[in-house]
Homo-oligomer: A and B are copies of this chain.
Amino acid sequence: MKLNSLSKHYIADNKELSVLKEFSLEVEKGTIVALLGPSGCGKTTLLRLIAGLEKADGGEVTLEKEEEGPVSFLFQEPRLLPWHNVLTNVELVLRPFIKDRKERIKEASKFLEMVNLLQYSRFKVDQLSGGMRQRVAIARAFAFPANLMLLDEPFQSLDQEMRLSLIKAYLTLWEQYRRTTLFVTHNITEALLMADTIVRLSKKPMGVLDTTKIDIPQRERSLQDPHLLYLMGELHP
């Protein structure tokens, strides 16, 4: 995927707020890219532009052939359908792909199992805690057979243990399909464990501060690894 001098501005408080100005970034096909940046710098805006939810003022997004088609977007908020239960929320996005209802429920349940919510399948959305909602959204995003993954702070409001287990689960999935993945995070550990490339962003208008490539295959990484620890130190503010 290539982001080619994207520009985007908003009007707020009677002033023009330039969020992106000729922002360019190249993302290698099939890799995971972590985006780190201060709050309000424009990360969500960038993902929305890529997903086509927002129109850029200038510039363009070029996708590789394998990246075209359905996009999975894990929004910064869970965005669940409040009138459905947990299972239906996940199962619904599988409808175009799995015609058989039983099969579909089985597939959805697999992902609910992954986020450890299988026993809450029949709970209504308003009966869940904040973290549980986020996990349903994760199950939905991961279950959707997309060619491109955009994840906006995917593991926020989850405890450390759940975080690590979901990272592992995602990596297993990713190794299977090698979907290009962009994910926004504020957690350096997360970035170190998952990303092929870590991109640090600056504010106003958003620009690339630095790019760090990590050559260790994801499944071999460990937080005890001195190279990763070194990188962590480097990346810390």
- A residues with a Cβ closer than 8 A to B are 10, 12-13, 36-40, 44, 76-77, 120, 122-124, 127-132, 134-135, 153, 156-164, 186, 188, 236-237
- What's the least CB distance linking A235 to chain B, in Å? 9
Q: Identify the closest chain B residue to A153 (Cβ).
A: B157
Contact call B38/A77, Cβ cutoff below 8 A: no
Contact call A131/B40, Cβ cutoff below 8 A: yes
Chain B hits for A36, CB < 8 A = 159
CB-contact partner of A156 in B12, B13, B38, B157, under 8 A: B157
Contact call A164/B12, Cβ cutoff below 8 A: no
Contact call A12/B160, Cβ cutoff below 8 A: no
Chain B hits for A134, CB < 8 A = 39
Chain B hits for A160, CB < 8 A = 186, 188, 236-237
Tallying the copies of this chain within the complex gives 2
Chain B hits for A44, CB < 8 A = 129-130
- What's the least CB distance linking A183 to chain B, in Å? 14
Contact call B159/A37, Cβ cutoff below 8 A: yes
Beyond A13-B120, A160-B186, A160-B188, 16 extra complex contacts between A and B, CB < 8 Å: A12-B123, A12-B127, A13-B123, A13-B127, A38-B159, A38-B162, A39-B132, A39-B134, A39-B135, A40-B131, A153-B157, A156-B157, A158-B186, A159-B186, A159-B237, A160-B237
List 19 interface pairs A-B (beta carbons < 8 Å), by A numbering. Answer: A10-B127, A12-B123, A13-B120, A13-B127, A37-B159, A39-B135, A39-B159, A40-B128, A40-B132, A44-B129, A153-B157, A156-B157, A157-B186, A158-B186, A159-B186, A160-B186, A160-B188, A160-B236, A160-B237
